[in-house]
Amino acid sequence: MGDTTLRSLENRKKYLEGVKAGMEAVNGEETAYNIGVRMGVRMADIASKFEEEYGLELDREILFNSLAEAVAKGSDIDAQKNQSNFYSVLHNIKNNREKVLMQSAAEELARQAKARKMNKITDVLYGVRTVASSGQKIHVGDSIAVEMRFKGPDQEDLGMPSPQAVTVGDDSPAPVITLALSALRESESAVFATSAAALLGDQAALIYLKPNDIVYLHVTVGKIFKTASGNATRIEEIPDGDFDGL
């Protein structure tokens, strides 16, 4: 019901096969066995999530043997301590994986930006100005009229909503958007390229993007409604010469 990608006739047949297998797995009054069946299903699901979220392929046989050894000992463990250690390991794995993914995304972004003759702004943001203006420079803290369109690697529209007005830095969901807007002036347009990892982080998978997929941001800046004059936290302005398109 919650996932339209599973509504095909073939997937509905597979779903019913799974339901039938689950019903047949329960064995009468064998309570311990039935609890074990439920645990086995949970462990299989957890292993799949590890592969998806952490890039780790768990050996199901080793996982089962470890559980069997623990059960055979017949003694309790310090659950809180072991859980704490477990989450510490997961935290390290996730951090290391994110570093690898961000590096891979940055390398792919640089390759794609070079092919499209886009200019580097930072390691995670490239762009080309399409409409120039001598208007006022955009700063963090400025409230501006803006139109943003997000497109995927094949230039398909990602269907992400575009605000009509933002306060730069405050309403921007990602730092790369703040950087992009801060590279522009009033009444300017540009196309920016960044990675799904830099723009969306872990949320990229929700719209079926891989971390190193390129996302193109088409931006048109309108009028500045309210300036952030006197704001001491403005980021350094990007010189126009470092961003001019071909």
The pTM assigned to this predicted structure is 0.61
Phi then psi for residue 122, to 5 deg, are -140, 180
pLDDT digits (tens, 9 = 90+) for 79-132: 888 888 888 888 888 888 778 877 888 888 898 888 888 999 988 899 999 998
- pLDDT of 220: 92
Residue 177 has pLDDT above 70, yes or no: yes
Beta strands in 107-167 (DSSP E): 119-122, 125-131, 143-151, 165-167
Region 138-145 average pLDDT: 88
pLDDT digits (tens, 9 = 90+) for 187-241: 999 999 998 888 888 788 788 888 888 899 999 998 888 887 644 334 444 444 4
**CA-to-CA distance for 133 and 121, rounded, in angstroms?**
19
Which ranges constitute the DSSP H helices of the chain?
Answer: 9-25, 31-54, 60-73, 79-115, 175-182, 196-200
